[in-house]
Amino acid sequence: MTLVDDARRVRENAYAPYSNFKVGAAIRATSGAVHLGVNVENVAYPEGTCAEAGAIAAMIAAGDSEIAEVAVIADSPVPVSPCGGCRQKLAEFGRGDVKVTLATTDGTTSETTLGALLPGAFDQHQMERA
């Protein structure tokens, strides 16, 4: 089973009664463990959460802290990319060369990296003082 398959499977559990746009995410940590997330909408929009954020939370809750690979899937005509906030969240826990596979439910995929998704990412090095 691939990381995209994991994301596809968990996507069905998304809570999207308002948009009907279900998203699934799977993160493989450097430990090898796979952590899953789905989007969770809320009637008090925009209080919902993205699938990528859910997968990151699951990863941290399980005791992992570094991303090795990411997959995101949605029922979309083209592979859907993480939102800007999730790009920053992913960059917090993964290096720029981390592989990101974006997929549609009909099987179309696109591969990129965290660095390509968020060039010039704000990171902990910018918080350091001379």
Could you give the domains of the chain? 3-114 (3.40.140.10)
* CA-to-CA separations, 119 to 4, 14, 88, 93, 125, in angstroms, rounded: 24, 29, 10, 15, 15
- Among 47, 52, 66, 128, the active-site one is 52
Residue 66 is predicted with a pLDDT of: 98
Residue 83 known to bind ligand: yes
Residue 47 known to bind ligand: no
* CA-to-CA separations, 15 to 48, 80, 107, in angstroms, rounded: 9, 18, 22
Residue 127 is predicted with a pLDDT of: 79
Residue 23 known to bind ligand: no
pLDDT for 130 beyond 70: no
State both tokens at 121.
């990412």
Element (H, E) at 104: strand 99-104
Residue 92 known to bind ligand: no
pLDDT for 14 beyond 70: yes
Q: Give yes or no: 47 in active site.
A: no
pLDDT in tens, 22-58: 999 999 999 999 999 999 999 998 899 999 999 999 9
